[in-house]
Amino acid sequence: MNNLTFPILRLLADGHFQSGEAIARHFGVTRATVWNALQEAEAVGVQLFSVRGRGYRLPQPITLLEHDSVLAAIGEQRSWFTLEVHDYLESTNGYLVKQAAAGAAHATCVAASLQTKGRGRRGRVWQAGLGASLTFSLLWRFQTGAAALSGLSLAVGVAIIRALHALGLPQAKLKWPNDILVHMQKMAGILIELQGDMEGPSAAVIGIGINLRLPEHLRRNIDQPATDLQHELKQAPNPNLLLGVLLKNLADVLSEFERNGFEALREEWLQHHAFQNQAVRLLLPDGRETQGVISSIAADGVLLVETAAGLQRFSAGEISLRGVTQDKLP
């Protein structure tokens, strides 16, 4: 990306018009250079208004990520983390997976103000325009093997719930295995990629995306009901504060998970489960569908469902969970 693109976007972050001439003068370049830089922004999905005689502006004011502001929001635990804040990455998970394989430090966090090729579970694309989402990944190294990390995505869900509740969103709920819902609409998702041996040691790259303020053109591309923090909190969210509070809670929860596994967090997870004791449809990878009532979560994070064939266990894999009404059960 053009080296001037994000400096110009930071200048436009207040949402006001800036003339091409004023921007060029500010950076000591030509108006053509400004135009080229903003063309690159639009090429990666940044919406800009351009009006002859007035200049350029973003559709609304945005707050961009700032390294020191995030550390301040973490508080006392900021020394735990190695924080990288990028203007632009295709995928924070993709970037950090490579860094982890090259020896990146435990508790390295990579965040991006703009992510253009973010991935969700089951191959989905995570829609993340500038100012629309907080997207970041966290590397957590474990002395145990990958086989001992069952329930990790559920533990991460507990950390996100704690953070959202602390920020004034007690309506936030969990959906097995890795989504956060508000009023049964998706607000956040988790994607974990593991490295290492089954017996140990191992490393998890924990990718998290949270909707901040979804513009209509992004909302149309999401294949399920979705909501965002601005709509739910009735104010523009500060991504620096949000990331800091999330990292603080992730440090607490992942430390607990290391000591005692998911079992120590299981009851808390169940308290916030959006579908607990409710009828659901489970769409299996081979195209089959199972219906039942969610009974509980096992200590290893497996979903326990009462079906017509009795109590069945479901591991995350490629299973998709949907709610149904009780009268649709077999």
pLDDT band at 267 (very low <50, low <70, confident <90, very high): very high
Beta bridge partners of 174: 180, 273
d(CA 325, CA 328): 6
d(CA 208, CA 137): 6
User: Is residue 62, in this structure, part of any structural domain at all?
Assistant: no
Segment 77-116, tens digit of pLDDT: 999 999 999 999 999 999 999 999 999 999 999 999 999 8
Q: Are 281 and 322 in contact (CB under 8 A)?
A: yes
Angle, alpha carbons 66-172-292 (nearest 5°)? 135
Q: Regarding beta strands 279-283 and 289-297, do their DSSP bridges make them parallel or antiparallel, or are they unpaired? A: antiparallel
Average confidence (pLDDT) over 118-126: 54
Q: Are 174 and 297 in contact (CB under 8 A)?
A: no
> 322: domain CATH number?
2.30.30.100
107 and 227 share one domain: yes
Average confidence (pLDDT) over 315-323: 77
d(CA 285, CA 282): 10
> 50: domain CATH number?
1.10.10.10
Compute φ and ψ for 315, nearest 5 degrees. Answer: -90, 160
Residue with tokens 């591309």: 221
**Among 140, 138, 84, which Cα is nearest to 112's?**
84
Beta bridge partners of 193: 205
On the question of pLDDT at 23 being above 90, the answer is yes
pTM metric for this prediction: 0.91
What's the confidence (pLDDT) of residue 118?
62
Q: Which domain holds residue 40?
A: 5-57
Average confidence (pLDDT) over 67-80: 95
Q: Where does a domain end: 249, 271, 293?
A: 271
On the question of pLDDT at 33 being above 80, the answer is yes
263 and 286 share one domain: no
Compute the half-sphere exposure of residue 243: CA atoms within 13 Å on the CB side of its CA.
32
Distance, CA of 182 to chain centre: 14
What's the confidence (pLDDT) of residue 196?
86
